[in-house]
Amino acid sequence: MGFWDIFWFIIWSFFFVAYLMVLFSIIGDLFRDRELNGWWKALWIIFLIFVPFLTSLVYLIARGRGMAERSATQAHAAKQATDSYIRDVAGKSPSDEIADAAKLLEAGTITTEEYEMLKAKALS
């Protein structure tokens, strides 16, 4: 194999992987779209199987804006879910923990020694 054979192999491999990414992106968008009827989804899939390049081009032209909006909406929802999870898992700030311990001390639920231990743990 010569240099040009390897070069063209790399170029064709790149285009094939790019095509697969577009194809899976379109299929993912089809099933993410809640407004599109199931029959239309099936029709798009059938055309993607039998006339893949033309169908991909038509899909990107006809539904590209909606595709971008659905993708952005999904990314925003995933970010919100991640942020919410991080806030829930992260716990309270040290000042919040000390304030809660002070309320427990005032209510007589814990002793002064326990309050001091909770305060030291929160500040560490």
Q: Hey, how many other C-beta atoms are within 10 angstroms of the C-beta on 40?
A: 12
Q: Is the dihedral of CA 80, 85, 86, 92 positive or negative?
A: positive
- pLDDT tens digit string along 46-94? 999 999 999 999 999 999 898 999 999 999 999 999 988 887 777 777 8
- pLDDT tens digit string along 28-51? 999 988 888 999 999 999 999 999
Q: Where do the structural domains in the chain lie, given as residue ranges?
A: 3-64, 92-124
Contact 48, 56 (CB under 8 A): yes
State the pLDDT confidence band at 97, using cuts at 50, 70 and 90: confident
Q: Hey, how many other C-beta atoms are within 10 angstroms of the C-beta on 67?
A: 19
Q: Is the dihedral of CA 50, 66, 21, 24 positive or negative?
A: negative
